[in-house]
Amino acid sequence: MTQGPPPGYGPRPGYGPPPGYGPPPGFRPTGRPPGYPPPGYPPPGPPRGYPPPPPGYPPAAPPRGYPPPPGRAPARPQGQGTGGPHSGPTHADQGPRRTPEQPPPPPASDPHDDIDEDLAPRSGKVGDFLEGQGQYGLRAGWRILMIRYPADESFIAAGLTIPAGYASAIVGGMFTNKSGGSIQSPPVSGLCLLDSQGDVHARATAVLDSHPGFREGEVFDEETIAGHVFYLIPKELDVQGIQWQSGGDLLTWLR
């Protein structure tokens, strides 16, 4: 049910605009005031004193394919070479390729350069000077001068008896002390005879006036002494060479 205003609701008697209220005489609610804008405004054309633009200004953008000015290459889209659109620069953009220079090969080295001179095995022939390390700081230099086999005549001339089935041998050489100091005696016991089967034989005790042995006693640094060593080996064998070793390097002289 629609309800209306309560009883007595509404304008009171005598409510309204006061007497004489309203627009003044001659008031125009809409439009511009008479004579606005003034005649001749805005003026046609550019303002006075402003130079006119040159003919053809502003310039229109050149159409596609318009030739570039002399001395200037046409712009090229990025990533496009002279041969058409593709990805990445072309060889023409990069210039001529250069093959990287290879470093020169290293000089050929001697395969024996990496061998320690003090640890390399020593070998030579009769007459060669060989040098090697021994025990207790000994450094010996040996030169084998001769190997005489058989030497039975020299033994018999000295009044020595050769056991049955054996033959004698005489080895002459020179020893040089390279130890950097004196030693008590020459290391003659390290000299052994090498037979044709590869076996070694120790020296024999003998005294021959015709072939004196190495002297006993002190040997000074860089002093050289000479002497002979004697051997007895089975007759059926031959002499292959001489070896020296004293707890270190092995020196070998072959006939």
d(CA 69, CA 56): 19
Q: Which amino acid is at 183?
A: I
Cα–Cα distances in angstroms (integers) from residue 62 to residues 59, 67, 145, in the given order: 9, 9, 107
Task: Give the per-residue pLDDT at 115.
Answer: 37
* Average pLDDT over every residue of 97-123: 56
Task: Give the per-residue pLDDT at 220.
Answer: 98
**Tokens standing for 225?**
């002494």
Confidence of residue 40 (pLDDT cuts 50, 70, 90): low
* Average pLDDT over every residue of 38-66: 57
Residue 154's φ and ψ, nearest 5 degrees, are -65, -35
Q: Which residues of 24-51 are buried (b: 16+ CB within 10 A; e: fewer)?
A: eeeeeeeeeeeeeeeeeeeeeeeeeeee
Question: Per-residue pLDDT tens for 129-168?
Answer: 999 999 999 999 999 999 999 999 999 999 999 999 999 9
HEC profile of the chain: CCCCCCCCCCCCCCCCCCCCCCCCCCCCCCCCCCCCCCCCCCCCCCCCCCCCCCCCCCCCCCCCCCCCCCCCCCCCCCCEECCEECCCCCHHHHCCCCCCCCCCCCCCCCCCCCCCCCCCCEEEECCCEEEEECHHHCEEEEEEEEEECCCHHHHHHCCCCCCCCEEEEEEEEEEEECCCCCECCCCHHHEEEEECCCCEECCECCCECCECECCCCCECCCCEEEEEEEEEEECCCCEEEEEECCCCCCEEEEC
d(CA 158, CA 168): 13
**Tokens standing for 142?**
């040996």
**Tokens standing for 68?**
């570039």
Task: Give the per-residue pLDDT at 237.
Answer: 97
d(CA 56, CA 62): 13
Task: Give the per-residue pLDDT at 113.
Answer: 45
Cα–Cα distances in angstroms (integers) from residue 131 to residues 34, 122, 172, 176, 255, in the given order: 136, 8, 17, 9, 18
Task: Give the per-residue pLDDT at 122.
Answer: 84
**Tokens standing for 181?**
């100091």
Task: Give the per-residue pLDDT at 1.
Answer: 46
Residue 106 CB burial class (10 angstroms; 0-12, 13-18, ≥19): exposed
Averaged pLDDT of the chain: 76
